[in-house]
Amino acid sequence: MNKLTIRDIDVSGKRVLVRVDFNVPVSYKTGEITDDSRIRASLPTIDYLIERGAKVILCSHLRRPEGKVSGEYSLVIVANRLSQIIRQQVTLTNDCIGPEVEKSIADMKNGEVVLLENLRFHAEEEKGDDSFAKSLAQLGDIFVNDAFGTSHRKHASIVGVTRYLPSVAGLLLEKEIIALGRVLRNPPRPFGVLLGGAKVSDKVAMLDNIMGKVDTIIIGGGMAATFLKAQFYEVGLSLLDDSIDIATDLINKTTINNVKLVLPDDVLVTDTVNDRGKTEDVSISNIPADKHIVDIGTLTITKFTRALEKCRTVFWNGPMGIYEIPQFSEGTKSIARIIANLHAITIIGGGSTSEIVTEMKLADKMTFVSTGGGASLKFLSGETLPGVEALLDKDTTT
């Protein structure tokens, strides 16, 4: 990576504004954090700064409060969890900008940690508003981006602040770029890509960019219905994302580039997409017109397993079925266990896929679990991430 990191600068005694991605999943029933892996992922950066006597000012968003202050979206639960993890009090400010916040920062001692309240309580954050960015920047002497998962956005706390502060990468952001960059540069082959989730359109640019490097593309999840429809199979009431022409084009590209395309042989279908729906495993040639595809079938799990076992590098993004409903989750769980036991480089492409392997306690068996869903796909698409591009280059004198 050609960007400066926190290792390249003196942070001792400095106010270091760190953009982290603490957008953790929270239970609607209990109001508790259900997966704190995004918090833990930034610990190397936080610990590095504490150990060197920096005044650590963390900022993040949580979910989508739409520019309105709401206790439901407060970062208080994140501050409490982080305090427990680092065994040090993390103070939550009452806002992320303003005189009271500035006073809290001014009272900080070296090695202390403060978490600013939800950035998205201000609509200006997502708009990339320059005045809001300037107000944030006034809180720090140095800016650190450790939020890879939001670095594809041009938000005020991602790009705007870099206009006012020396800006470098955190250790998590560096780790993400190096791990995903390996996929783009020279992945050990055979290289397999396993894709699930609902939308084909989200993955087109990535597939186009890696088509010359990949050997096998395996398609499951909701997007499998679009590929099956493109090959004139009946897919019943399954959701299609208006990408049949795109799927047809991708099928043609795999043929031209001598890439093996692996689609399901059988699928799980149901008449009702909820936890009361009756399920049936059917061949792709016998999908009823009045039913929905909700998971891959048992024969397909075996087929996908054989394809994956031949790979030396595997990138996985997207569940194989409607994972949130237990009886439609077995395909995803089976594939997760299989990938965890492969003798290969295994990279999990963020988003819900990362949450799944973490929930199943398989994350430590993967080579790398990305914290960025949309960001990882854009990076693998060859697109420049604004939040990374805005950081200082290694040949810059600070």
Q: Active-site positions? A: 38, 199, 351, 374
Question: Are residues 127 and 156 in contact, defined by beta-carbon separation less than 8 angstroms?
Answer: yes
Which residue reads 């920047």 in tokens?
A: 137
Q: CA-to-CA distance for 100 and 93, rounded, in angstroms? A: 8
Residue 352: helix, strand or coil by DSSP?
A: helix
Q: How far is CA 138 from the centre of its chain?
A: 29
C-alpha count within 13 angstroms, C-beta hemisphere, residue 319:
21
Which residue reads 């084909």 in tokens?
A: 200
Question: Are residues 117 and 139 in contact, defined by beta-carbon separation less than 8 angstroms?
Answer: no
Residue 150: helix, strand or coil by DSSP?
A: helix
**236 closest CA partner among 195, 282, 202:** 282
- Helix (H) / strand (E) containing 142: strand 142-145
- Helix (H) / strand (E) containing 29: none
**21 closest CA partner among 43, 40, 46, 38:** 38
Q: From the CB of residue 141, how many other CB atoms can be counted at a distance below 10 Å?
A: 16
